[in-house]
Amino acid sequence: MKKIGLLFILAAFYVSGMSSCTAVKAYEKIKLNDSEMELSARKAEKFEQNSQLYREGSSGANGGKSGGGCGCN
């Protein structure tokens, strides 16, 4: 009885795994070119990095002037 249950579970995993291997249709490929799918930093991350660098004071916003954070010239 345990063998039949184990075989049933393995067969279920096999069938579910094989059904996930499908070709991408032409009209679905448009979604792959979305700007949200890019690996580069998104606008929100760039803004956050800019704000953090500005508040840190160790360098200007996004690599501008470098110097101390006291604000004196």
The answer to the question of residue 15 being in a domain is yes
Question: How many domains, in total, are found in the chain?
Answer: 1
Per the structure, the complete domain to which residue 45 belongs is given by 1-56
- Of residues 34, 36, 32, the one with CA closest to residue 24: 32
| Burial (0-12, 13-18, 19+ Cβ within 10 Å), 32 | exposed
The answer to the question of residue 31 being in a domain is yes
Mean pLDDT by 10 residues, the chain (73 residues): 88 82 79 69 74 65 55 58
pTM to 2 decimal places: 0.29
The answer to the question of residue 1 being in a domain is yes
> What is the four-CA torsion angle of 61, 47, 40, 36, rounded to 10 degrees?
-170
CA distance 33 to 42: 15
